[in-house]
Chains A and B, each alone.
Chain A
Amino acid sequence: DGGITQSPKYLFRKEGQNVTLSCEQNLNHDAMYWYRQDPGQGLRLIYYSQIVNDFQKGDIAEGYSVSREKKESFPLTVTSAQKNPTAFYLCASSIALGDEQYFGPGTRLTVT
Chain B
Amino acid sequence: DQQVKQNSPSLSVQEGRISILNCDYTNSMFDYFLWYKKYPAEGPTFLISISSIKDKNEDGRFTVFLNKSAKHLSLHIVPSQPGDSAVYFCAASLVYSGGGADGLTFGKGTHLIIQP
A residues adjacent to B (C-beta < 8 A): 4, 6, 33, 35, 40-45, 48, 50, 56, 58, 88, 90-92, 97-98, 100-106, 108
Q: Which 6 A-B pairs rank lowest in CB-CB distance, beginning with the nearest?
A: A98-B101, A103-B43, A42-B106, A45-B103, A42-B108, A43-B106
How far apart are the CA atoms of A48 and B102 in the complex, in Å?
A: 7
Q: Choose, from B44-52, B64-72, B75-83, the stretch at the interface.
A: B44-52
Kindly state whether residue B89 has any CB partner on chain A within 8 Å.
yes
Report the nearest B residue to A47, measured CB to CB.
Answer: B103
Instruction: Select one of A40, A48, A50, A105 contacting B43, CB under 8 A.
Output: A105
* Inter-chain contact B4/A42, CB cutoff 8 Å: yes
Nearest B residue to A101, CB-CB: B104
Tell me whether B43 and A92 are in contact (CB under 8 A). yes
In the bound complex, CA of A105 to CA of B6 (Å)? 23
Q: Is B62 an interface residue (CB 8 A)?
A: no
Distance from A1 Cβ to chain B, minimum over Cβ atoms (Å): 15
Question: Which B residues lie at the A interface, using CB under 8 A?
Answer: 4, 6, 9, 32, 34, 36, 41-46, 49, 89, 91, 93, 95, 100-109
Q: Which residues does chain B contribute within 8 Å of A33, judged by CB atoms?
A: 103-104
Contact of A90 with B108 at beta-carbon distance under 8 Å, contacts A56-B102, A97-B100, A98-B95 already known? no
Do A58 and B44 touch (CB < 8 A)? no
Residues of the A chain whose Cβ atoms lie less than 8 Å from the Cβ of B34: 100
Whether A58 contacts B102 in the complex (CB less than 8 A), given A98-B93, A100-B34, comes out as: yes
Closest CB-CB distance, A68 to chain B, in whole Å?
Answer: 14
Could you tell me if A103 and B100 are in contact, using CB atoms closer than 8 angstroms? Answer: no
Question: How far is it, in angstroms, between the C-alpha of A33 and the C-alpha of B44 when the chains are bound?
Answer: 13
Nearest-neighbour CB distance to chain B for A78, whole angstroms, equals 18
Quick check: B46 and A101 within 8 Å, CB to CB?
yes
Once bound together, how far apart are the Cα atoms of A104 and B43, in whole Å?
A: 5
Q: How far is the CA of A105 from the CA of B102 in the complex (A)?
A: 22
Given that A100-B34, A100-B46 are contacting pairs, would A45 and B41 also be in contact in the complex, using a CB cutoff of 8 Å?
no
Enumerate chain B residues within 8 angstroms of A103, measured Cβ to Cβ. 36, 43-45
